Amino acid sequence: FFVWSVGLNEVLSNIERFGILGFAVILVIYLGRLIFRATAWKLSVYEPFRLSLRDTFPAVIIGEAMSAMIPLGILISGTSKAVAVRRRVPLVVGLSSVATENLFYSFVTSGFLALGALTFVRNFQLDQGWTLTIDVLIGILILLVIALIMMIVKQWHFASETCELLYRRGVARGLLEHGRSEVRLFENLIYGFYRRHPKRFLPICLCEAGFHALGVLEVWFILGRLMEFASPMNAFLLESLSRLITIIFKLIPFLIGVDEAGAEFVAETVAIGAGIGVTLAIIRKGRILFWTAVGLVLIIKRGLSPR
């Protein structure tokens, strides 16, 4: 629909202008982003267990592939990463380290999204409804960050306490007989990291920030090949909105349609043209398809079954 609305010939012309060499460059840029996430995860594992970059990097690619293909893949992504390294560390350790890295990712991403939303609202004329919506989203992000910090500082054991309550009431007693202790261990491993390795906080946050910085660089590079002048500010706004859309609409495999809609909206608002926005989203979707294919090859090579 969005390709048709801006004109098929315009989109094809933009893609031709971007070229195969340009596509190769953004594949390399995304490779760097994956390495940042894999390094952050590697730093989230602590003794007596250990994961190397050779363990976490292919697992991150597998997780990204699962996340892109499957509705609500964000719930499956972390589990598939832990399964991918199950021969290196126990499953509960893999899951807790993924959750630890995701907490850092959520913290840094919230700041990135809030900064992007504030910049967008304060620098461009928007309808009152859009301004109110974005302000509400900023408020929600701030509350989520506060909740995450409180959960870690207070060491709230929501999951294990819920399992304990269900067990005492006779719900799924066979499953929870041993499962509740695993859930408690999962939470303790997460909270133990924050107590024992505070010096790793900054390196992990820098890795997460590097992930987003390369995302902005990717957008800036694409715009630079499609336009005479590409503004870093526009690249930042397009990437921050794209990340927000990725989070909200993760239910939709490959973000079909919604990514194009968001890019078109921002592109029109910052006056770079709807055609450029839609082309940007399609080019990045090609990058997603490439790395998803790599993830599928890794899954097949490792013999991971659907179960």
Per-residue pLDDT tens digits for 83-100:
999 999 999 899 999 999
- Whole-model pTM over 0.85: yes
pLDDT at 306: 65
- Can you list the residues of the chain whose pLDDT is less than 50? none
Residue pair 30/291 in contact (Cβ under 8 Å)? The answer is yes
pLDDT at 98: 93
242-291 pLDDT, tens digit each: 788 777 777 777 778 788 888 887 888 777 888 888 899 999 999 999 99
Q: How far is CA 127 from the centre of its chain?
A: 29
pLDDT at 304: 65
Q: What are φ and ψ of residue 155, in 5° steps?
A: 55, 55
Q: In the numeric block, which tokens belong to residue 84?
A: 């991918």
pLDDT at 224: 93
Q: Rounded distance, CA 238 to CA 98, Å?
A: 27
For CA atoms 139, 143, 144, 149, give the dihedral sign.
Answer: positive
pLDDT at 269: 77
What is the full DSSP assignment across 98-134? HHHHHHHHHHHHHHHHHHHHHHHHHHS---HHHHHHH
pLDDT at 228: 84
Q: Which residue has the tokens 């269900």?
A: 166
Q: Of 213, 207, 228, give the one whose Cα is nearest residue 272.
A: 228
Phi-psi region of 231 (alpha: psi -120 to 50; beta: other; left: phi over 0): beta
